[in-house]
Amino acid sequence: MADEIAADFCPRTSNGIPMLGLGTWQNEDPEACAESVRTALEMGYRHVDTAQAYDNEAAVGEGLASADVDREEVFLATKLWIDNLGADDVAETARESMDRLGVDYLDMLYVHWPAGEYDPEETLGALSELYDEGLIENVGVSNFMPEDLETAIDVCDAPIAANQVELHPLLQQPELRETCENYDVDVVAYSPLARGQVFNHEGLQNVAARHGVSEAQVSLAWLREKGVVAIPKATGEDHIEDNWESLLVELDRSDVDTIDNIDDVSREVDPDFAPWN
């Protein structure tokens, strides 16, 4: 069934981001990582997300190069680690990331966390220069709280296109979503399946059973309904395909209400340096 879904079937945000992408966190085996990227792209995915900290940019680049898909069709994103956020480091390590990925521009370059060497004016000033040079198509931030995002918007000469955060039915972040919407900043959800916790939730199980689909597909469809981009990580073809087929799932109002009313909260990514700690 996945082969029947055209690449252009996947909707995009107003900022041009495909609303379903392939996450590559913990996809550290080079051969498996490259193969998963190739598989996803040839299945129809047009959005691939990586990061300097994932230590797999070269493998992602290999998968991109081996896929029978033009580079220009793919929305490729990576993230600057917290040690690389000084002005000189931003410029130098961004180019190093592009070299590893085998590309001459990035569709999105994120600040991975507002931590470590992050200084709003210095870091975002350097990113704005890369944007002006045409080396990056979009500036993004990640794990920014509403107040962090507002500061970034104030000081960054380039538009902030997206804020990538943990978001799923068990961590719905309504205030953050509202802030992003107010500033025309897309929300990109990492860990959109709550590291597998969605499979164990009774409400999601019930919605999935009504539609005859997986809890993963329900969670991804709910995010899409909310206008949120999802980048679930997957390595095997079966999981890549299952996530892709979420594009065929249409939730009704009662389904959305059921998920909206989930009271359980589970934050899966919570380092000491996170801005909420």
pLDDT tops 70 at residue 9 = yes
pLDDT tops 90 at residue 1 = no
- Give dist(CA 173, CA 267) in Å, integer: 11
Mean pLDDT, rounded, for 187-195: 98
pLDDT tops 80 at residue 190 = yes
pLDDT higher at 76 or 6: 76
Say what the pLDDT of residue 206 is. 97
pLDDT tops 90 at residue 93 = yes
Q: What is the band of 5 on the pLDDT scale with cuts at 50, 70, 90? A: confident
- Give dist(CA 92, CA 183) in Å, integer: 29
Residues in Cβ contact with 113 at an 8 Å cutoff, skipping those fewer than 6 apart: 82, 142, 143, 271, 273, 274, 275
- Give dist(CA 1, CA 163) in Å, integer: 32
Say what the pLDDT of residue 7 is. 78
54 is catalytic: yes
* Mean pLDDT of all residues belonging to the chain: 96
Q: Which of 54, 110, 118, 131 is catalytic?
A: 54
One-letter amino acid at 94 equals: A
- Whether the pTM exceeds 0.95: the reply is yes
Exposed e or buried b per residue across 255-265, where buried means at least 16 C-beta atoms within 10 angstroms of its C-beta: beebbeebeee
- Beta carbons of 78 and 52 less than 8 angstroms apart: yes
* pLDDT tens column, 198-240: 999 999 999 999 999 999 999 999 999 999 999 999 999 999 9
Q: Which residue reads 């690389």 in tokens?
A: 84
Residues found in the chain: 277
Say what the pLDDT of residue 51 is. 98
Separation of CA 217 from chain center: 16
- Give dist(CA 176, CA 226) in Å, integer: 13
